[in-house]
Chain A
Amino acid sequence: MSSITYGKHLFARSRKIQRQQTRVAYLFLLPALLFFFGFVVFPMGMGIYTSFFNYTMRDFDFVGFANYAELFRDATFGRSVVNTMIIAVASVPLVMLFSLWVATVIYQKPVMSRSFYRGVFYLPVVMGSVPVVVVWKWIFNRYYGILNWVTQTLGITQANINWLGDARYAIWCILAILFTTSIGQPIVLYVASLGNVDASQIEASEVDGASKWQTFRHVKWPSLLPTTLYVAVITTINSFQCFALIQLLTSGGPNGSTSTVMYYLYDTAFRIYRYGYANAMGVVLAIIIAAFSAFQFRVMRTDD
């Protein structure tokens, strides 16, 4: 409504003022557009363009879709995609359930303790991936890591386990760390949206004799749905972009069991110097993530 009245208002003005307004608007936008085109749009275009080239330190030859065709045959890329999927598929429900649980427990608590807990679960994000990864690397160390001591003391394992050097465990170690760095934001979101649930509805439901679960299922859950979808999407995207963890912890090993698309892209570009091929990977990654995001926008819009 307001935009229509505003439009009429605008229409009533003289052309000159309108032109001046447009100029002002673009002047205000100029810095943002400059940065946006210079450091987002242009490199994106460049990435797409060079993905059609055999582009290395020495060569720059047009090869059409050859890089993309190679991606489909590249076993390491396939493995990286699978690993990326495993990480995403495993972490989404885990992150969702856990953060929802924490949020339901803390949202009724006094302000002080609520922000304390929020801070605690945000700690691994704030600390930054490098300090987090280096300390976990120590915790996982097969000779002096505290984890082997804990599991042996509890009688779960007998001998020292090479957590990061064994393909059976390495990806779960990555997943565990990724989990600790993915929880903070969802908890804040859930706490915020739990606060938005209409209290009178909850009471009405309780008065009707509904159990805790029924109240949750029928009253709270529907209003948490948009947040849940959002959490699912950001967690998926975070999983797809998992890089520092891999680079600092395992270099993608053992046997490629922890290589992800993002890590493989980096490795291809900066260790084997195949920029064109790496850019093709970047484009594929962008398409996958864009598809997820589009899905999110769509779902959220129909939900409104």
Chain B
Amino acid sequence: MFGQKDANDPAGTYEKTLVEAFMAKYPDIKVNLETIDFTNGPEKLIAAIEGGNAPDVLFDAPGRIVEYGKNGKLVSLNDMFTDELKADIGNEGLIAACGDDENYWMYPISSSPFFMVINKEVFEEADALQYVNLEGDRTWTTENFVKALEALNKAGKLTGSVYCMNQGGDQGTRALINNLYGGKMANAELTKYTVDSPENRQALELVKKLIDDKVLEFGPEINAGGEIELFQSKTLSMSICWGTSAAKNFPTEFTQVWLPFPSNDGTPELEYLINGFCVFDNKDDARAKAAKLFVQFLCDSEEVGKANVLATGAFPVRQSFGNLYEGNADYELLTAFTKYYGPYYNTMNGFANMRVQWWTMLQAYLSGEKTLDDALATFQAEANKDL
């Protein structure tokens, strides 16, 4: 059984052809394909895992996969992480993200940065485009970001939204807030969440002020999905949760300008997504072996591997795959963004809980229900509770 959580392709036709190709190559292995819906995917999967009906192979991100691994639900992939693979990836942070101290749980195939996007025409109309850097890597400063927001606001445009209904797409709000003044989510050792820092405080205070001045929208009733829709329908002038799959699924009538997050020193740290596969431990060695074979078939072979990377609309983790997007200016920009990848904290202990605490904190502080001190104190205590 091959589960995957990205349901953008409603019928799963592409996956079907993959499965057929694999079965043609290995006729003695039978693969059933199942598409799990995006929003409730994790919960459904938990139910299946809990009842011992987990799929054999699942396509997902490291955050949840490593959590399953730590909980003893997966087969260790240490044997698949050969020196050849590690050398080919050549990015310590990315490799570390695929497992915990002892085991690798996820076999990575592609990665993709999260960034922000603006509506170029609206920015032009509001005379705000002057604050945006359209050169080189397009990095820009917090100061110019605020100026752009104010210009948009003056022109009667809604700017962006700090959405926080639940954890959906919360990396966008974290990236925005962390970057404004160079704050960090966690310490360098990735053992403790450190949101209560002077940098983050300054950033949160700025965001609160912008919201109170109605220069920025506060969205406790929407998550990233809603924010992206509002951007697509031209209600908002920017989205802070943009990525290659959003770009693919939400085509716009206006010109998109992809940007890194603004930062005070002009050097952003971007969040990124790693895509990969894990193998569930269904207490059957033969099945696990077949599953690993299937994963390797999907990721490593020159032809299928590259096609799969392209299908995810992301960038290969294997450098040997080269530049798959020659001549695509947007994607070459994103390739440039990969050098701004920040530390990957999504596999830290208590990550799932931290996400709950994050939007809870945003709601509490930005709605004015709690002071910054109280909101951050609760966040620090709760998020670090089990560490």
Contact = CB atoms under 8 A, between A and B. Distances in A.
B194 interface: no
A57 B73 CA distance: 9
22 contacts: A57-B46, A57-B68, A58-B70, A142-B221, A164-B221, A165-B218, A165-B221, A167-B369, A250-B165, A251-B166, A253-B164, A253-B363, A254-B367, A255-B363, A255-B364, A255-B367, A270-B43, A270-B47, A271-B42, A271-B43, A271-B356, A272-B353
B245 to A, nearest CB: 22
B220 A272 contact: no
Nearest to B44: A270
Interface of B: 42-43, 46-47, 49-50, 68, 70-73, 158, 164-166, 218-222, 230, 235, 352-353, 356, 360, 363-364, 367, 369
A116 interface: no
Contacts of B71: 56-58
Interface in A35-65: 56-58
A162 B71 CA distance: 40
Contacts of A273: 46
Contacts of A162: 218, 220-221
Contacts of A254: 165, 220-221, 363, 367
A297 interface: no
A101 interface: no
Contacts of A57: 46, 49-50, 68, 71, 73
Contacts of B363: 253-255
Main secondary structure of the interface of A (DSSP, over half): loop
Interface string A221-239: 0000000000000000000
A143 interface: yes
Q: Which 4 A-B residue pairings sit nearest by Cβ, starting from the closest?
A: A165-B221, A254-B220, A270-B43, A164-B221
Given A57-B50, A273-B46, A250 B356 contact: no
Interface in A193-228: none
Contacts of A275: 50
Contacts of B369: 167, 255
Interface in A240-285: 250-251, 253-256, 270-273, 275
B220 A165 contact: yes
Contacts of A270: 43, 46-47
Contacts of A251: 165-166
A56 B46 CA distance: 10
Contacts, number: 65
Interface of A: 56-58, 142-144, 162-167, 170, 250-251, 253-256, 270-273, 275
B100 to A, nearest CB: 13
Best-buried of A58, A143, A164, A254 by chain B (most CB within 10 Å): A254
B26 to A, nearest CB: 31
A58 B42 CA distance: 16
Given A167-B369, A272-B352, A272-B353, A253 B220 contact: yes
A58 B221 contact: no
Best-buried of B43, B47, B352 by chain A (most CB within 10 Å): B43
Contacts of A255: 220, 360, 363-364, 367, 369
Best-buried of B43, B50, B221, B363 by chain A (most CB within 10 Å): B221
A254 B363 CA distance: 6
A143 B220 CA distance: 14
Contacts of A144: 235
B50 A143 contact: no
Contacts of B220: 162, 165-166, 253-255
Contacts of A167: 367, 369
Contacts of A163: 221
A167 B218 CA distance: 13
Contacts of A142: 221
Given A165-B218, A254-B363, A272 B356 contact: yes
B353 A253 contact: no
A144 B364 CA distance: 25
Given A270-B43, A271-B352, A273-B46, 10 more contacts: A57-B49, A57-B73, A143-B235, A144-B235, A165-B219, A253-B164, A253-B363, A254-B363, A254-B367, A255-B364
A170 B220 CA distance: 11
Nearest to A254: B220
Contacts of B68: 57
Contacts of A253: 164-166, 220-221, 363
A117 B53 CA distance: 48
A273 B46 CA distance: 8
Contacts of B222: 165
Contacts of A271: 42-43, 352, 356
A56 B350 CA distance: 14
A254 B367 CA distance: 8
B132 to A, nearest CB: 24
A142 B363 CA distance: 17
Nearest to A57: B71
